[in-house]
Amino acid sequence: MDTHAQAGALAGIKVLDLSRILAGPWASQMLADFGADVIKVERPGSGDDTRGWGPPFFESDDGDERVAAYFHSCNRNKRSIAIDFTHPEGQALVRELVKEADVLVENFKVGGLAKYGLDYDSLKAINPALVYCSITGFGQTGPYRQRAGYDFLIQAMGGLMSVTGEPDGQPMKVGVALTDVLTGLYAANAIQAALLYRYRTGRGQYIDMALLDVQVAAMANQAMNYLATEQAPGRLGNAHPNIVPYQAFATSDGHIILAVGNDGQFQRFCEVAGVPELARDERFATNRGRVAHRDELVPMLADVIRVHSRDWWLTELERVSVPCGPINTLKETFEDEHVQAREMRRTLPHPTLGEVPSVANPIRFSESEVQYRSAPPSLGSDTEAVLQALGHDVDDIARMRMQGIIG
């Protein structure tokens, strides 16, 4: 690592990343951003599945390398080593890496790594301090533990789709693989907590992360609304189950979202809208009343909001501190002056692809800065360097490459 990387909060922590797709790589990218040395173990030849999940692709000028943008969303700041650990010698290489690792992240099916001797019980025997994080669809226990888990499926089973979409339409998934992303964030938190526990006790541990568990937990107020009433909430489109008005409205030339969070904001909105009497109406004066009389109030507001343009509403409501905003495309999001001021778009160097765009980590530390060292690696680009650091000489590495053990 370079000297700048040493400033990271997790500098000196070594992570072995055996995960693929999104949830595991999202977790390990977070650790890498915090300064950890993350070695991504991939299959020789094809690597992580998401390398081919395009278009769109990033492609080198000579056409020798083509990698999907999807892969680049969750693998920056890592090194790549290509090992076939279905081969006994490949398994031995992974175990060599484990001896020096602090953390291992994997998302194979339940029991999938045991046949290679790479499960937690096997690896704990050679590194008792190892923090081993397994990410699966349904967890290591329970009747569904052997099932494969996919974000779309988990959004459906975990209740998210039941509250997403228009009331008279079909249930809808969120437009990104949100359950995978949330699982990655929970996993990164769990790993760091386990490292702190190890700092106090000297003991590593096993972390069982399940996408379905995460999705159920992430239902937040909607889950508690159900537990408090035993009435399952339904789909409200862009409306909020507990706050009114808190949804999208059509203006004369587009749409805005209105996010009135308290009664004072509602009063100020009504003043701007020219309907101050609505804020004095006992049906609408409090949020509790507005929720109870949602079906009466919302059509009235829709008629008023439709009179003026999007920009008129955004200007006038911002002036009186009533939360509102445009519904941006991603183009508009990245062109937004505030998003640009917060430097949410970055560029990272890549040896064959040149300067590659990246979305910044949203965390801002005052001391241990988030690291932006390198773009996601080419498949197996660090195999030789990592193995040489373990003590393998050039001839041994060439032999293993010839035999297909490494790539």
The catalytic site residues sit at: 180
| Beta carbons of 182 and 158 less than 8 angstroms apart | no
Query: How would you write 333-372 as a 3-class SS string?
Result: HHHCHHHHHCCCEEEEEECCCEEEEEECCCCCCCCCCCCC
d(CA 68, CA 99): 32
d(CA 172, CA 152): 10
Computed on alpha carbons and rounded to an integer, the radius of gyration of the chain in Å comes to 25
- Cα 315 from chain centroid? 33
**Which residues 6+ apart lie within 8 Å of 185 measured at CB?**
26, 27, 30
Please report, as a single letter, which amino acid is at residue 152: F
Query: How would you write 38-77 as a 3-class SS string?
Result: EEEEECCCCCCHHHHCCCCEEECCCCCCEEEHHHHCCCCC
Query: How would you write 381-407 as a 3-class SS string?
Result: CCHHHHHHHCCCCHHHHHHHHHCCCEC
d(CA 116, CA 114): 5
Q: Characterise 192 by phi-psi region: left (phi > 0), alpha (psi -120 to 50), beta (else).
A: alpha
d(CA 241, CA 3): 50
Cis peptide upstream of residue 88 (ω within 30 degrees of 0): no
Report the relative pairing of strands 103-106 and 131-136 from DSSP bridges.
Answer: parallel
**Which residues 6+ apart lie within 8 Å of 190 measured at CB?**
133, 207, 209
277 CB neighbour count, 10 Å cutoff: 9
